[in-house]
Amino acid sequence: MSEQEVVFGERALTLEDIHAIAIKGVPVKLSKNRHFKETIDAGAKVVESVLSQEGKVYGVTTGFGEDCTHSIPEETTSDLSINLTRFHGCGLGDAFSTQQVRAILAVRLCSLTQGYSGVSWELLEYLCLFLNKNILPVIPQEGSVGASGDLTPLSYVAGALIGERDVYFEGETRSSAEVFSQLRIKPYVLKPKEALALMNGTAVMTGIACLAWQRAEYLTRLSTKITGLCIAGVAGNTFHYDESLFDVKPHKGQQEVASWLRHDLKNTQAEENSSRLQDRYSLRCAPHIVGAVRDALPFLRHTIENELNSANDNPIVDPVSKRVLHGGHFYGGHIAMAMDLLKTQVANLADLHDRQMALLFDPKVNNGLPKNLSAAPKNKIASHHGFKAVHIGCSAWTAEALKLTMPASVFSRSTESHNQDKVSMGTIASRDAIRVLELTEQVAVATMLAAHQACWLRQHKLKEQLVSTDSLKSFNSYISENFEIVVEDRRLDNDLNSWLKRAHAQTIPV
């Protein structure tokens, strides 16, 4: 991938490509490869040929869903496409963020450029235009069951292209018709099957899944760093991460996390002379917990990237055999499965850090740290409460994350006159995964600041050396440069929000 642009139609795209388009705003373009353009044009010609011969194509010469038995007169086929975008305009809930919308547009473009959707080259150019000009449809999050594709949310993409929906543009929410007029661009005119090709796919759930994967991968590295800081803060036993120990249980992710902890922690004494022969599980078993997430990530990447680079609408148009194939590639079962797995693994990180926070707080087990991690002087310690309320907040955020781990994919509902009688709920699973990530990031940054306070107390109040190496000392110093130790009680929401932004932007060095 070029750092300057992402080219569609030359190779399979990666999660990093979608991240670059969505988060960094990298521009996009279509491949200039002649064979690629010929393939796209050939697919559109197949649809035209079938129509000219009065053949049947679902959603072009028939009604939609249960109404596929209804034939549509040729003179009203253009109305059919527009009406598809209109009657699906019933989404509710909060809108997706602009970054999420960029991911959704990029994923839909990637599917259409596979060459099996029967769309025109012009439609692909318009999607590139939306991304490069940052014309971003306002897409409500709620309303997709994730199995005739993301019909309702993607109708807001199709509707914006034809000038009938709102978009984010230059920091404002405006009608796409106004933006087209300002830019002297004509609204797009949908060709046969193009509304269906835009809407009848898994782009919303997959776009969100791409971003969720990136956040989860970063969170595993941040979680390991925070765990090291917690171990230093409670003067834990650093021999729990010995290389020989992990050689005998060779899960790759688990070994990786243990090696990171060895890199951050210094073995300064014989194991039998450590303050505690065996630390609590939230420290001793951290490689096994974070490592399980690490080991899930390659499988999740493979699954998400497979979906990203697939033709996932219906019907499929084969430009080689010139056949129109009716199937169910819009079904989001793989993304639903991936996101149900991801959110469960990530919630385990929230639970891990919540337990680490409890360990830091408890004077019975934290090796001499003051109650509530209070740094107040002795004459004021009774009236100041350190991180007490933050600890309560962590419990609340963790409970909410754990509650959301119920698999969305098992809540299939029969809908649309029992035509869609088994559905994936993949978009709900992806949205759940994002919320679990948000909550887990909240627990993580709160634990990070508490662990930093614990390290400060051990050094400055207990006058002890930390077991950290230069690597962890550098991490601790970075925090101290941007966070003031809590000596007397103060509100901490501003601090937490500031660090959350860093975590979300992945700028905290790990």
* Residues with a known catalytic role: 58
Residue type, 300: L
The C-alpha atoms of residue 381 and residue 379 are separated, in whole angstroms, by: 6
The C-alpha atoms of residue 194 and residue 183 are separated, in whole angstroms, by: 23
Burial of 291 (0-12, 13-18, 19+ CB in 10 A): buried
Q: Count CB-CB contacts under 10 A for residue 497.
A: 12
Strands 28-30 and 6-8 come out as parallel
The C-alpha atoms of residue 364 and residue 452 are separated, in whole angstroms, by: 19
Handedness of CA 243, 246, 252, 255 (dihedral sign): negative
Q: What is the length of the chain? A: 510
The C-alpha atoms of residue 281 and residue 284 are separated, in whole angstroms, by: 5
The C-alpha atoms of residue 502 and residue 478 are separated, in whole angstroms, by: 12
The backbone torsions φ and ψ at residue 204, rounded to the nearest 5 degrees and listed phi first, read -70, -55
Cβ-contact 126, 231 below 8 angstroms = no
The C-alpha atoms of residue 71 and residue 74 are separated, in whole angstroms, by: 9
Q: Count CB-CB contacts under 10 A for residue 61.
A: 20
